[in-house]
Structure 1
């Protein structure tokens, strides 16, 4: 796949436009995970973007921290939480280096895993392992290679291969990822700017099964 995008690209994206993954609401697939009772204890929302999932889960009473490596995303997330009257916690942090984070019972990854290339993906998964308590769950929502190129896409096999030693892949199911069409994809998708799309995606549930680095 393509190289992992530079952090500066994401920060600039947030500063100059509304990215196609900012839909002003939580992803339906993540809402469904919560309603199924699969989010427990302390929660890390990794790659939180503008904070929709952190705000949702905080409002529902969970102990949540949202992190993103893009300072502008975190600034917007804090403003969104304030606008909604929710006292949510956000920090600027590198998802590739979570060793200084306390152990979490649940980690939510909505559209972060799929941005990493073959070299960076193992480092990212090892970082998740460091941040997850033994027995804890990681939920990964990633665009599927069955999609139309709305963003970076991965195969189910890529997810299976990434979560090997130290993990138990409990579920890997097809679902959808909601986005907003921007000028970037309008011609490719044949849809007007501003249209909402539900693109093919994967939803993985992975459990950390032993202590140690991946």
Structure 2
């Protein structure tokens, strides 16, 4: 990214119900992580958006906190949890300034890492180090630069470079990220607005040393 998007841009997307990453269900890649035993409590769902992953994991019995810096996102997440009868926890918080008051065994980042510019990405990784316990794991699901421009995209080298001293990048696999095509992508993708698409993505497993 040339410049990290502002909070107001995200708040507007949630308020107008035009956020292309809000699909009404968890990302298949995160569902598979849980199914194969990759997640351990306590869990931080950073950049939780409308709360799909926090709701899923809470329902399955995990100790999880969903956090987002956009108040509109947290408001929607709480409403979604209430509508589904799930007592999920959410908080407004800045991913660049996590203070380590609470620490986590698993951190899930679904489509947050890729929004940051170079300087903020470095700050973000430092911030993650404050909340991820030694031996804990951060999962990063990020749009790949092999995609069609659904949103901000990153290359393999960006992920590998971001997690340096204090981290072990244990795995970096290709996967997909599911989203809803908006007006900005419809013409380029050749599909109607509202079409669900699966775009190329990376899934990284990074362990805190």
Instruction: Give the paired residue count.
Output: 209
Which runs of 4 or more aligned residues in structure 1 lie more than 3 Å from their structure 2 counterparts after TM superposition?
A: none
Between the aligned partners of 2:18 and 2:24, the Cα distance in structure 1 is 10
1:96 CA displacement: 0.5
The residue that corresponds to 2:90 in the other structure is: 90
SS in 2 for 1:99: coil
Helix, strand or coil: the match of 1:75?
helix
In the aligned structure 2, how far is the partner of 1:100 from the partner of 1:166?
Answer: 16
CA distance in 2, matches of 1:2, 1:197: 25
1:45-95 Cα shifts (integer Å, max 9, x gaps): 000000000000000000000000000000000000000000000000000
TM-score, normalization: structure 1? 0.96
Q: Which shifted more, 95-104 or 39-48?
A: 95-104
Cα distance in 2 between the residues matched to 1:151 and 1:171: 23
Unaligned 5+ runs, structure 2 = none
After TM superposition, list the pairs within 5 Å mapping 1:30-69 onto structure 2.
30-69=30-69
> SS where residue 96 of structure 2 aligns?
coil
Q: Name the structure 1 match of 2:203.
A: 203
Q: In the alignment, which residue of structure 2 is the partner of 1:169? A: 169
Partner SS for 1:179: strand
Partner of 1:185: 185
Deviation at 1:18, TM superposition (A): 2.6
- How far did residue 24 of structure 1 move? 0.2
Residue 13 (structure 1) shift = 1.2
- Matches of 2:18 and 2:9 in 1, distance apart? 13
For structure 1, the residue ranges without an aligned partner over 5 or more in a row are 210-214
Which residue does 1:79 correspond to in 2? Answer: 79
Task: State the Cα RMSD in Å.
Answer: 0.7
Shift in Å at residue 169 of structure 1?
0.4
For the residue of structure 2 that corresponds to 1:145, the secondary structure is: coil
Superposition deviation, residue 17 in structure 1: 2.6
| Residue equivalent to 2:105 | 105
TM-score, structure 2 normalization: 0.98
Q: CA deviation at 1:100?
A: 4.3
Aligned residue in 2 for 1:18: 18
Q: Secondary structure of the equivalent of 1:19?
A: coil
Q: Secondary structure at the match of 1:121?
A: helix
Measure the CA separation in 1 of the matches of 2:159 and 2:61. Answer: 30
Deviation, structure 1 residue 101: 3.7
